[in-house]
Amino acid sequence: MTEIYCAIDTPDLAAAERLVGALAGAVDGIKLGLEFFVANGPAGVAKLAEKGLPVFLDLKLHDIPNTVAGAVRALMPLAPCILTVHAGGGRAMLEAAVDAKGGAREPRIVGVTVLTSLDDDDLGRMGWAEGSEATVKRLAEEAKAGGLDGIVCSPREAAAMRAGFGPDFLLVVPGIRPAWAAAGDQKRITTPADAAAAGADVLVIGRPITGADRPAEAAQRIAAELAA
């Protein structure tokens, strides 16, 4: 079953606590990224974890293998269920991240491929002329070869990645916008139902939930669309 993780993108710990408390029972977990982590650090993560929802740490680690391994070990006490690294960091970096778990099942480490704020024109300007789907596929191959549990990709690539990498390769999919929500700065987007049908395991949804007057009701509306 496709899960919904709400992206808590705020530096305000008190506001995050209120939001996470309101979302209990309405989502399957929360995603904490750089904005929250830089402002609040590990202590802030631990504080939100006390609310009882699984925590996905989206820190997009990308450095030399030794540094990434050290970062993974430092994060292990926080017990995140999912952790991101950049799939383009190289095979040695990916393997070092996995080895740093010491055989633990969690966190599941997934490789960020092409950000959902980028399209083919953006990639072309950066020298990635093959386009988004081919680029995501190549990075997914590196992620799998490096021992990662899966990747982060846009919903536009999810069906191809599911077909190419099988049912056990975790697909974490941001860029989710219900038909009733604004696209914002996301480019390669689809609706929650379309992403789930394409094979997404985890939908990462932020502003359609967090920007709603009643976040829990917005999350429940999305869940109902998935179940329909």
Q: What is the pLDDT of residues 102-131, one digit of tens each?
A: 999 999 999 999 887 877 888 888 887 788
pLDDT for 12 equals 97
Domain 3-227 fold: TIM Barrel (3.20.20)
Token readout for 73 is 């070990």
pLDDT for 182 equals 58
Mean pLDDT value of segment 158-183: 87
pLDDT for 61 equals 98
Token readout for 213 is 């007057």
In whole angstroms, what is the distance from residue 69 CA to residue 149 CA? 16
Calculate ∠ Cα 191-144-114, nearest 5°. Answer: 45
Sign for the CA dihedral angle at 114, 141, 177, 210 comes to negative
pLDDT for 90 equals 96
pLDDT per residue over 13-71, tens digit each? Answer: 999 999 999 999 999 999 999 999 999 999 999 999 999 999 999 999 999 999 999 99
Active site residues: 60
pLDDT higher at 227 or 172? 172
Query: Which pTM value belongs to this model?
Result: 0.92
In whole angstroms, what is the distance from residue 88 CA to residue 26 CA? 34
Q: Is the pLDDT of residue 187 over 90?
A: no
Domain ranges of the chain: 3-227
